[in-house]
Structure 1
Amino acid sequence: MDAGMKDLESLAVLDPSRGREPTDAEWTRSRAFIERTMATSEGRPARHRAARWLVVGAATVATGAAAAVIVPAVLPGTAQKAMAAWTAVPTARTGDQVLPQARECADNEVGGRSATVRPDDVVLAEQRGIATLLIMRKSGKIVECLSAGGHNLASMGLIDDGPLPAPPPGQVSLETMSSMGNRGHEWSNIIGLVGPGVTGVEVRLDNGRVVQASVKAGWWAAWWPGPEGGDFDHLTVIVHTATTTTSRRPSELP
Structure 2
Amino acid sequence: MDPHLNDLKQLNSLDPARGREPTAVEWTRSRAMLERVISGRAPQPSPSRPVRRRLVVGVAVAAAGAVAAVTVPSLLPGTAEKAFASWTAAPGSLTGEQVLPQARACAGNGRGGPSTAGPADVLLAEQRGLATLLIMKKDSGVIDLCLSAGPGSDDQLASMSLADGPLPAPPADTVTLETMASVGEGDGRWSDIVGLAGTGVTRVDVRPDGGKSFQASVRNGWWAAWWPGPEGGEADTLTVTVHTATGTTDHRVVDLD
What's the TM-score once normalised by structure 2's chain length? 0.74
Which amino acid in structure 2 is aligned with residue 181 of structure 1?
G
- Stretch moving more, 70-79 or 207-216: 70-79
Does the alignment pair 1:229 with 2:203? no
Once residues 155 and 50 of structure 1 are traced to their aligned partners in structure 2, the CA distance between those partners, rounded to angstroms, is: 12
Which amino acid in structure 2 is aligned with residue 126 of structure 1?
E
Superposed counterparts of 1:101-250, under 5 Å: 101-114=102-115, 116-138=116-138, 139-149=140-150, 150=152, 151-153=154-156, 154-162=158-166, 164-250=167-253
Is the contact made by 1:146 and 1:155 (CA closer than 8 Å) also made in structure 2? yes
Match of 1:92 in 2: 93
Deviation at 1:112, TM superposition (A): 3.2
Per-residue deviation, residues 139-177 of structure 1 (Å, max 9, x unmatched): 320000001113121100001223x31111211000000
Q: Which has the larger radius of gyration?
A: 2
Q: Determine which structure has the larger strand proportion and give its number.
A: 1
**Structure 1 SS opposite 2:245:** coil
**Structure 2 SS opposite 1:173:** coil
Per-residue deviation, residues 203-254 of structure 1 (Å, max 9, x unmatched): 0111222110000000000000000001121110000011211011111111
Unaligned runs of 5+ in 1: 1-44, 55-59
Is the contact made by 1:177 and 1:189 (CA closer than 8 Å) also made in structure 2? yes
Closer, same or farther: CA 74–198 of 1 in aligned 2, 3 Å: farther
Closer, same or farther: CA 105–190 of 1 in aligned 2, 3 Å: same
Match of 1:78 in 2: 79
Unaligned runs of 5+ in 2: 1-49
Once residues 61 and 113 of structure 1 are traced to their aligned partners in structure 2, the CA distance between those partners, rounded to angstroms, is: 24
Is the contact made by 1:201 and 1:240 (CA closer than 8 Å) also made in structure 2? yes
RMSD: 1.9
Once residues 167 and 74 of structure 1 are traced to their aligned partners in structure 2, the CA distance between those partners, rounded to angstroms, is: 36
Once residues 114 and 70 of structure 2 are traced to their aligned partners in structure 1, the CA distance between those partners, rounded to angstroms, is: 14
Once residues 162 and 105 of structure 2 are traced to their aligned partners in structure 1, the CA distance between those partners, rounded to angstroms, is: 17
Which amino acid in structure 1 is aligned with residue 109 of structure 2?
N
**Structure 1 SS opposite 2:83:** helix
Once residues 160 and 97 of structure 2 are traced to their aligned partners in structure 1, the CA distance between those partners, rounded to angstroms, is: 22
Which amino acid in structure 1 is aligned with residue 222 of structure 2?
W
Which amino acid in structure 2 is aligned with residue 132 of structure 1?
T
Which amino acid in structure 2 is aligned with residue 158 of structure 1?
L
Once residues 113 and 236 of structure 2 are traced to their aligned partners in structure 1, the CA distance between those partners, rounded to angstroms, is: 32
**Structure 2 SS opposite 1:51:** coil
Is the contact made by 2:54 and 2:68 (CA closer than 8 Å) also made in structure 1? no
Is the contact made by 2:135 and 2:143 (CA closer than 8 Å) also made in structure 1? yes
Is the contact made by 1:48 and 1:250 (CA closer than 8 Å) also made in structure 2? no
Closer, same or farther: CA 207–194 of 1 in aligned 2, 3 Å: same
Once residues 104 and 96 of structure 1 are traced to their aligned partners in structure 2, the CA distance between those partners, rounded to angstroms, is: 14
Closer, same or farther: CA 80–111 of 1 in aligned 2, 3 Å: farther
Once residues 142 and 65 of structure 1 are traced to their aligned partners in structure 2, the CA distance between those partners, rounded to angstroms, is: 17
Once residues 190 and 74 of structure 1 are traced to their aligned partners in structure 2, the CA distance between those partners, rounded to angstroms, is: 22
Per-residue deviation, residues 99-153 of structure 1 (Å, max 9, x unmatched): 0000100111233341x21110000000000000000001320000001113121
**Structure 1 SS opposite 2:226:** strand
